[in-house]
Structure 1
Amino acid sequence: MEIQNNNNHPNGGDVVRHPSRLVSRGGDKRLTESRFATLNVGGGMEEKLNEVLQMMDERKIDILCVNETKRKGCDTTLHGTYTAYWSGVPSSDRACQGVGVVLSARMAECVREFECVNSRLMWIRLKVGMMRIFLVGVYAPVDRGASISQRVRDERQIFWDELREVLKVCKSNERLVLLGDFNGWVGIKRDGFEKVLGMYGDERVNDNGRSVLEICQEWNLCVTNTMFDHKRIHLYTREAENVRKSMIDFVIVDERIRKNVIDSRVYRGSGIHSDHFLVMCRLSGLFKGWRQRPRTVTADLKRIKVENLQEEGVNDEYRSRLKTEFNGMDEISETEQLWNSFKNKVVSVASEVCGVRKRHKGKKEKNVWWDKEVQEAVCKKKKLWLDWLATRANQRNHTASFDKISEAKKDYRRMKVLVKELVDRKKDEQKDKMEERLSQDFQTNIKFFWKSVRLARGNTQNSELKSIKDKNGRLVNEEECILERWKEYFESLFDKEKASTSILELNESIENVSENEDSISMDKIVKALKGMKSGKAAGYDRVSVEMLKAGQGIVASPKIYNHIPLEIKSATGKRGFVNKLKAKLMSEAYYSVDEFFDGMHS
C-alpha cells in the first residue's frame, strides 16, 4: 500500500496521526497526565458497575483493573464512553475470581491487541502517543501462610509460572505495567531490591510478596506504592474487620517509565463497598508533545420515536396533523417539488408529535433503572461510608467513642440495604414494563423483541464458522476448503455476463408492467403499505415504514405514487421509499412480493 507524504499539509503531519497523540503542546495538564488504577470490588461487578463507572468519571481514571468480578466467559462490552475487557471462568463453572480492565475513550483508541489468559490473568497491548505499553491485569491466589495444603501451593506456583509466560509475550520496545490484587506483602526497601522497592509501606513479607519481587527483579519493574511518603491510611490497600490492615494491591511499572510517575497512593473515598481501597498511579508525559489537530465536529443523530405511534392518542394527532399539512399538495405538478414537500411534511409532523431522541455516535445509554432516585440513594450511601471512615480515624486519635463508630456503621449498613432493595425494585419494574410492552402487540414490537433476546443472550457467543456447504450441498470442515468455497461463491456473484443479463431482464419486465398499469389505485397502495416490514431503519430521508402505515389513506395518495416515475434506487436515496413501494406494487407480474422485497434489501 502506498503511503502518502503529508508533510506539506497545512496542519503538518497530524492528519495521519493516531487520536491518542492529538494533544495540545503545553496545554491543559489533564491532557498530558494519565491515571492507572486498580480495585478489588469484592463480590462481583453485577450491581457495582454503574458505581465503578461513576467513580472513574469523578477521578478521571484512564485505566482501571478490577478484580474478583465473578463474571463468566471472556467478553468486551461498551458502557457509555468506557470500554471494558473481561476475563472470567468458563460458563460451565461457578462464577468466582475474574479480572477485568476498563478503559476510557482515549485509551480505548490506543488498544492494538489483547488476550484473556484465564480468570486471573489478561493482557492488553496499547500504543499511547509514541510509547508502547504492555498492560497486565492480575488477580493472584490468596497466600494463607505455611498452613495450606500441597494442592494450594501447586496452584499458586502454577499461577506465577503462567504470569512469567505472559510477560514473555511483551516485546523489548514495550513498557510493562502490572495492575491488580497480588495478595502479597512485599515489605519496604531491602537489600537486593533497592531498585524495586521504596521506603514506605508495610514491613511484612510472605511467599506471594517474594514472588512479586522476583518477577520485578527479572523484568526491571518497580512497585510504585512504596515510592511515595503518604499517611499510613493512604498506604494500606485493604482494611477488613477483625483483620490486620495490609498492602496487597499494587501498581507496578517498568523502570524505564519510573520517571513519569508523579504519585501513587490509596484513595479511600471511592464508595464501592469492598474491604479493598482504590489504588491510583498518576503518570505524566504519555500524551505529551503532540500538537492539537482540528477535529471535524459531527452533529448528533436524531431518531424519531416512531414507537409512540402505537399509542391511540398520538396516532390520532399524527393523522389529524398530516391531513391538515397535506391540503394543497394536489396543486403541485413538478416531481422534485412534490417529493420534497411530501417528505418534509411527514418528517416534521412525526418529529413534533412523536418526539426525537439524540443518538450519540459511539455512546451507549446507561441502564434504565439507574435513574435520579437510585443515584441520590447511592450518593447518600457513599456519604455514610465516608462518615464511617472518618469516625474510625477519629477513634484512633481518641476523639470518637466506640458508640459513635457503632452508630455510623449501623447507619451505613442500613442505607446499603435500602439501596439494594431500591435497585432490585427498579430492575423488577423495568422487567415488568418490557414484558408488558412485548405482550401488547408482538408484530409491531418484533424489533424490540429480538433486541431483548440479544440482550438476554449477551455478546459472548462464539461466531466462528466451523463448517460450510459446497456447491453440491456437502459439508466442508477444513479451513482451506471453506476459503476456496467462499472464493467460488463471490466469483459467481460478480460474474459480469450473468449480472448484465439479469438487469436487462428486470428492466424489460418493469417496462412491460408499466405499459399495462397506467395508474395505481388507493386499495393497492394501502395493501402494499400493510405488507411492508416494520422495524427497518429509515434512510437519509428519515421516512420510516411506521410513519407511512400510521398515515394510511392520508399518505397513500395515488397522485404521489403515480406522478413519480418508477426508478429502482437505494432506499436511502432520494425518493427511495416511494420507488420501492411502487416497485413492490407492480412486482407481482414477475416476482413474488417477499422475494422481490428481500432482493431490494440485499
Structure 2
Amino acid sequence: MNERTLLEENENRPERRTAFVARELHRLNLDIVALSETRIAGEGQLCEEGGGYTFFWKGQEPKTPRKHGVGFAVKNCMLFSLTEYPSGLNERLMTLRLNLEGNKHATVISAYAPTLLAEDQTKELFYAALDTALTAIPNEDKVILLGDFNARVGRDSDIWRGTIGKEGVGKINANGTLLLSKCVEHDLVVTNTLFRQKINLKPPGKHPRSKHWHLLDYIIVRSRDQKDVLLTRSVTGSEDCWTDHRLVYSCIRMKILTKKRNAHALKRLKFNVDSLKNDSNKLELQRCLANKLEQEYPPNSC
C-alpha cells in the first residue's frame, strides 16, 4: 500500500464525534462543559488538539450495556488550572476542582440523574451519592452543579424561596421535588430560573414523544455565589451534536488562577561567572560551545 493510498484512506475516514463537538464548543467559546448520557464504557480521556479541548468520561464497566455516562470537555488552555484531572464517582457523577486566584477553589460536578420512570431505589442511590459529593466539598469552595437532572422544578418561587427564581417553566414533578429538596439542604440555587428571557431560550430538553421543550438541564450554584452568575440560558442550534437537548450556557464571574512567571525565582537565579577566572574552565566552556555550534550549524550546511 503506497503513501497516496494511505492518505486517501485517512481523508475518507469518518471524523470522530469528539472532534465535531470540540469544534462546536470552540465556536461557542466555552471553557468547561458538562456532558451527560455519554454512553462510553470505562473511564478515560481524549485530547482533541485541533478543536482545543480535552474530553474526560466515566461510564459503566466494559462488557455491560452502554447507558448513562457523564463527562467533561475542558479547554486545553485551562487544564493547568485544575488541581487534578476530573474524577468519576460513578457512571452518573463526575467532579473536577479549579484553582482560583486568592488561594480559592471551585468544585464543578457533572451529573446525569435517573429519569422520572426509573425505580425509586435508583433515584435514592443517585441522590445519596450526590449528597456525599456535595458534603465532601470544602465550605470555602464555590460549587457549580451541572447536568441533566430529568426533573422539572416548576416556577413556584414562593414555596421554594431562595432555591428557584420567578422565571421557571411549567409545573414541578416528583424528580423536581427531589432535586429542590437537595438544593435546600445544601443552600443551592437553580440559576436557570433567575433570568427573564424569551421562552425559546429557557427550556433545553425535548420530550421524546410530545416533542415539547422542557426545562430539564440545570446550572446550580451556592446561594451566596448567586451574584457571580451573570446569565444562564439555552443555546439554540447546539442540538445538532447527536442530542435532543440544547446546550445550557452560563456566564459566571470567577478569576481562574493563571500561569505567571515566578519573578522571585528569576531574581534568585545567578550564574557562577567567578569560575571562568580559571583558564582551564574558560577553555572547557569555549570547547563545549564550539562543538554545540558545529552540531547545530555544520560548515557545509549553507
TM over 0.5: yes
Contact 1:221 1:252 in 2 (8 A): yes
2:297 maps to which residue?
344
Question: For 1:216, which of 183, 186, 191 is the aligned residue?
Answer: 183
Question: For 2:219, which of 228, 247, 251 is the aligned residue?
Answer: 251
Distance 1:221 1:295, change over 3 A: same
- The unaligned stretches of length 5 or more in structure 1 are 1-45, 297-333, 350-602
CA distance in 1, matches of 2:215, 2:77: 30
Correspondence 1:306-345 to 2 at 5 A: 341=294, 344-345=297-298
1:79 maps to which residue?
48
CA distance in 2, matches of 1:137, 1:58: 22
Report the secondary structure of 2:55's partner residue.
Answer: strand
Deviation at 1:82, TM superposition (A): 2.5
Report the secondary structure of 1:112's partner residue.
Answer: coil
Correspondence 1:395-474 to 2 at 5 A: none
Residues 303-338 of structure 1: per-residue CA shift (max 9 Å, x gap): xxxxxxxxxxxxxxxxxxxxxxxxxxxxxxx99978
CA distance in 2, matches of 1:65, 1:347: 56
Question: Residue 57 in 1 paired to residue 26 in 2?
Answer: yes
CA distance in 2, matches of 1:54, 1:160: 33
Kindly, what percent of the aligned residue pairs are identical?
Answer: 25
1:126 maps to which residue?
98
Q: Which amino acid aligns with 1:207?
A: A
Residues 426-478 of structure 1: per-residue CA shift (max 9 Å, x gap): xxxxxxxxxxxxxxxxxxxxxxxxxxxxxxxxxxxxxxxxxxxxxxxxxxxxx
Report the secondary structure of 2:213's partner residue.
Answer: coil
Deviation at 1:345, TM superposition (A): 4.4
Question: Residue 94 in 1 paired to residue 41 in 2?
Answer: no
CA distance in 1, matches of 2:291, 2:43: 54
Contact 1:261 1:281 in 2 (8 A): yes
Question: Residue 117 in 1 paired to residue 117 in 2?
Answer: no
Q: Which amino acid aligns with 1:60?
A: N
More helix by share: 1
Q: Which amino acid aligns with 2:38?
A: T
Report the secondary structure of 2:206's partner residue.
Answer: coil
Q: Which amino acid aligns with 1:252?
A: I
Q: Which moved more, 1:64-73 or 1:238-247?
A: 238-247
2:144 maps to which residue?
177
1:193 maps to which residue?
160
Deviation at 1:133, TM superposition (A): 0.9
CA distance in 2, matches of 1:88, 1:225: 27
TM, length-normalised to structure 2: 0.77
> Number of matched residues?
259
Distance 1:247 1:337, change over 3 A: closer
Contact 1:224 1:252 in 2 (8 A): yes
Distance 1:96 1:171, change over 3 A: same
TM, length-normalised to structure 1: 0.40
1:268 maps to which residue?
236
Report the secondary structure of 1:97's partner residue.
Answer: coil
CA distance in 2, matches of 1:177, 1:189: 23
Contact 1:65 1:101 in 2 (8 A): yes
Q: Which moved more, 1:216-225 or 1:99-108?
A: 99-108
CA distance in 2, matches of 1:196, 1:342: 68
Contact 2:18 2:48 in 1 (8 A): no
Distance 1:175 1:341, change over 3 A: closer
Contact 2:56 2:72 in 1 (8 A): yes
CA distance in 1, matches of 2:301, 2:191: 59
Residues 60-100 of structure 1: per-residue CA shift (max 9 Å, x gap): 11110011111111123322242332111112312221100
Distance 1:340 1:161, change over 3 A: closer
RMSD: 2.9
CA distance in 2, matches of 1:342, 1:107: 38
CA distance in 1, matches of 2:122, 2:214: 23
Deviation at 1:255, TM superposition (A): 1.1
Q: Which amino acid aligns with 1:141?
A: P
Report the secondary structure of 2:167's partner residue.
Answer: coil
More strand by share: 2
Deviation at 1:172, TM superposition (A): 1.1
Q: Which amino acid aligns with 1:254?
A: R
